[in-house]
Structure 1
Amino acid sequence: LHTIPLRYGEVTDITADIRLTLYDAGHVLGSAMAHLHIGNGLHNIVYTGDFKFGKTRLLNKANTEFPRVDTLIMESTYGGVVQPPREQAEKELIEVIKKTIERRGKVLIPALSVGRAQEVMVVIANAMQSNALPEVPVYIEGMINEVTAIHTAYPELLSRELREKIYSGENPFTYKAFKILEGKTARAELVESDEPCIIIATSGMLTGGPAVEYFRLMAPDPKNSLIFVSYQVEGTLGRKVRDGLREIHLVVGDRLEIVKVNMEVHAIEGFSGHSDHRQLLAFLANITPKPKRVILNHGEPSAIEALAKSIVRKLQGKVLPANVEIYTPKVLDSLALVI
């Protein structure tokens, strides 16, 4: 691979007159905002990409301090959408798990292998250490273990609290309740056992992976719970179940199986790696120096429009310059940045 890894804050010449510097985006491990210094101070662009301007147990919030910013290109995924505070999401997750364990049921958490799974692991480890949750086995399957090993290898990129725990030998990713599963043989035996447990498995939208098999085995039992902690895309099995479908047709081997969904289904908002509407506005209020123009992208038209209106109403002429330019380009539109 023709790849040159860069540290946050490291200035690199990518052409004769453009310098690139990466800054922490707080989205997933190693995610970065790109600062482009063009010419001899002629123009400076910050491209946020996906970012989270909110501290999580896993990562620090996105950087807001740059040497210069003329144009800011900012994601708008959750423009117009306010998510629950992270503390509330954690509390709800712990409550659902606790109630399921108390009735001797099992919890299935389909999780994205990068970021979301590690966040949930840290929340569960902390809850068990503080006795907010009883200590039961937490089975982990899929690509989660490999990705978690990468997180452990780069503690300097994690949140300050998590980094200090790892340096002091208290790695929550290796908490004693966590058990790594490899292979398919243990799945049916695990589900059929009488012990309450938690299962974290890929994929997060039930589009494949071991989570689908666990769902098939666990769905008929009303003592069990399914907890979604990530967005469910339209058309996925996860979305159908989240929206209330209670009879699922799954192909098992060479036959079609009808699965009755009697387990409890919960969708917990607030664990997203994207900034919600309030956090997007807070990022603009805190960024220094203030941009002369803001270009909103990476969002549905309605989300971009809602965010643009809020910027004009709440920030322009207050924490942003009165003459700041706000652009909401459509696909294939082009903008000429007048220097």
Structure 2
Amino acid sequence: MTRPSLTFLGGAGTVTGSRFLVETATARALVDAGLYQGLAELRRRNWDPFPVDPSTIGDVLVTHAHLDHTGYLPRLVRDGFRGRIVCTPETAELATIVLRDSAHLQEEDAAYANAMGFSKHHPALPLYDGEDVERTLPLLAPTSYGEPVALHGGPKAVLLPAGHILGSAIVALEADGHRVVFSGDLGRPHHPLLAPRHAPPAADTLLVEATYGDRAHPDPDPGLLAEAVRRTVKRGGTVLIPAFAVDRTELVLMELARLTRAGEIPKVPVFVDSPMALAALAVYRRALGRDGAGTRRQRGPDPFDPGDLRVVRDPDESRDLNEPPYPCIVISASGMGSGGRVVHHLRHQLPNPRNTVVLTGYQAEGTRGRRLLEGAREVKIHGRYVPVHAEVVSVEDFSVHSDADETLAWLRSAASPPTTTYVVHGEHSAAAALSRRITDELGWTSAVPTLGERVLLD
């Protein structure tokens, strides 16, 4: 008889590529199917054969819609997966947007690399294409918070609010009488749009993320963004804000609206230059008025309108924003400057000292955002090095990841300690630091798993 086990197929020693396989004698379930991002050595893992035959996986449970948790799904389907993809209704809506955009960008990037001749591969190919995504979407199985789900082969699961982004969930899974809980990306105690995260459900084995496992978020500095905008507008430049299309764009718009209404920044055009962000914004608007979506009720004016909001859908309009003729704010994906329209804006705007790039969240190792954060004087874009003369400002107030202290507080709120806690989804130093604190401060058994490591659940 096969003993129940957990294998760490991703999200071990890195903040990307979350993939966790639970196996029993009668079932295989995968929690998250994320893309690796950042360093080239990590991205190459996306091309490795999946360690088990995807057709033998009964269900995939998705914690939330971000690409590092959903982006591998179309490849899994391409290689034979035909089961259900269990997630919240809001995650299903957002994942539809995210995956279609991912396929489009991969196809576009492969075509551009082939045309410009800077790819090492001849020809450059996408990991998956739009047809793979369209085969994936019918497998999405929207499931409300708190609704029990019977999985193929016997396990049971329930999704609970994680407070990270719209639709984000903690996954509680029971297999052969063993309770395994996956925090997914854990939100902070207070999110301006979302209801609070759920306390840790009873668990024998607990997986907790460690994106900020070795640090605490600084106290909010509401003047930092306002001062950067005022300085840039005064010198006639552009404020470029690389922002994730899902959740980060919404939070940035809310803060710009607040600052404009308070008279702390001048009213200038605010462009949202990301078709995916605009689609995600529509999902957020609908969710704010819907019961069961895990959102806080909003009163008063449109929370996402800074006063002169302009949406950009056409590629020609986007190209015009490479060098805007007047002071403005441009919000464009991706948040780490690793793909999408923002890369073209960075290429044109970084050399100009009148401009400012505002980084609004975690910048993974190996990304352009990380290099800018660390003070790089030039960054490589489309096969060429671009000088960095623009001002670079990091505003950490927008982070929706629990920091180390907030994560410890969440763990302390558990009714009883798990037998074992595994610290995942963090760079090694961050995961190791959080694991030590869990052991030292809570007295729990804690470990940092390695990629491919398999542990027993009985």
Q: TM-score normalized by structure 1?
A: 0.83
Question: Alpha-carbon deviation of 1:309?
Answer: 1.5
Alignment match of 2:408 (pick from 263, 281, 287): 281
**Are positions 1:261 and 2:388 aligned together?**
yes
Q: Match of 1:320?
A: none
Alignment match of 2:421 (pick from 294, 307, 315): 294
Cα distance between partner residues in 2 of 1:82 and 1:149 = 32
Mean CA deviation greater in 11-20 or 126-135: 11-20
Instruction: Go from structure 1 to structure 2 and tell me whether the alpha carbon gap of 1:102 and 1:287 turns closer, same or farther (over 3 Å shift).
Output: farther
Q: Match of 1:82?
A: 216
Secondary structure, aligned partner of 1:96: helix
Q: Match of 2:109?
A: none
**Are positions 1:236 and 2:335 aligned together?**
no
Give the AA of the match of 2:282: A
Secondary structure, aligned partner of 1:172: coil
Give the AA of the match of 2:139: H
Question: Alpha-carbon deviation of 1:38?
Answer: 4.3
Kept after mapping to 1: 8 A contact 2:206/2:421: yes
Secondary structure, aligned partner of 2:335: coil
How far does the alpha carbon of each residue in 1:2-36 deviate from its partner, in whole angstroms, 9 at most, with x for none?
22211111122225643211001122211111112
**Are positions 1:310 and 2:310 aligned together?**
no
Question: Alpha-carbon deviation of 1:264?
Answer: 0.8
Cα distance between partner residues in 1 of 2:257 and 2:186 = 25
Give the AA of the match of 1:284: L
Instruction: Go from structure 1 to structure 2 and tell me whether the alpha carbon gap of 1:334 and 1:260 turns closer, same or farther (over 3 Å shift).
Output: closer
Kept after mapping to 1: 8 A contact 2:322/2:344: no
**Are positions 1:36 and 2:173 aligned together?**
yes
Cα distance between partner residues in 1 of 2:345 and 2:448 = 43
Instruction: Go from structure 1 to structure 2 and tell me whether the alpha carbon gap of 1:257 and 1:183 turns closer, same or farther (over 3 Å shift).
Output: farther
Alignment match of 1:149 (pick from 282, 287, 300): 282
Structure with greater contact order relative to length (CA < 8 Å, sep ≥ 6): 1
**Are positions 1:210 and 2:341 aligned together?**
yes
Cα distance between partner residues in 1 of 2:322 and 2:155 = 56
Alignment of 1:141-220 (within 5 A): 141-142=273-274, 143-155=276-288, 156=290, 157=293, 159-160=295-296, 163-165=297-299, 170-187=301-318, 189=320, 195-220=326-351
Cα distance between partner residues in 2 of 1:241 and 1:122 = 25
Alignment match of 2:252 (pick from 112, 120, 126): 120
Kept after mapping to 2: 8 A contact 1:58/1:122: no
Alignment of 1:56-95 (within 5 A): 56-64=191-199, 66=201, 68-85=202-219, 87-88=220-221, 90-95=222-227
**Are positions 1:45 and 2:180 aligned together?**
yes
Kept after mapping to 2: 8 A contact 1:54/1:60: no
Cα distance between partner residues in 1 of 2:427 and 2:411 = 20
Question: Alpha-carbon deviation of 1:180?
Answer: 0.3
Segments ≥4 residues shifted beyond 4 Å: 187-194, 247-251, 256-259
CA RMSD of aligned residues (A): 2.6
How far does the alpha carbon of each residue in 1:101-126 deviate from its partner, in whole angstroms, 9 at most, with x for none?
23332200011111211111111112
Cα distance between partner residues in 2 of 1:131 and 1:193 = 23
Cα distance between partner residues in 1 of 2:216 and 2:428 = 17
Cα distance between partner residues in 1 of 2:200 and 2:174 = 14
Secondary structure, aligned partner of 2:173: strand
Task: Could you tell me which runs of 5 or more consecutive residues in structure 2 were left unpaired when the two chains were aligned.
Answer: 1-137
How far does the alpha carbon of each residue in 1:187-239 deviate from its partner, in whole angstroms, 9 at most, with x for none?
56556555321110122222332212222332333222111113333443333
Cα distance between partner residues in 1 of 2:283 and 2:311 = 16
Instruction: Go from structure 1 to structure 2 and tell me whether the alpha carbon gap of 1:33 and 1:263 turns closer, same or farther (over 3 Å shift).
Output: same
Cα distance between partner residues in 2 of 1:326 and 1:257 = 44
Percent sequence identity over aligned pairs: 32
Alignment match of 1:12 (pick from 120, 135, 149): 149
Cα distance between partner residues in 1 of 2:379 and 2:149 = 52
Secondary structure, aligned partner of 1:296: strand
Kept after mapping to 2: 8 A contact 1:141/1:181: yes
Secondary structure, aligned partner of 1:4: strand
Instruction: Go from structure 1 to structure 2 and tell me whether the alpha carbon gap of 1:212 and 1:36 turns closer, same or farther (over 3 Å shift).
Output: closer
Question: Alpha-carbon deviation of 1:48?
Answer: 1.0
Cα distance between partner residues in 1 of 2:294 and 2:307 = 21
Instruction: Go from structure 1 to structure 2 and tell me whether the alpha carbon gap of 1:179 and 1:14 turns closer, same or farther (over 3 Å shift).
Output: same
How far does the alpha carbon of each residue in 1:239-264 deviate from its partner, in whole angstroms, 9 at most, with x for none?
3333333345655xxxx877443221
Secondary structure, aligned partner of 1:139: strand
Kept after mapping to 2: 8 A contact 1:73/1:294: yes
Task: Could you tell me which runs of 5 or more consecutive residues in structure 1 were left unpaired when the two chains were aligned.
Answer: 317-323
Cα distance between partner residues in 2 of 1:150 and 1:71 = 34
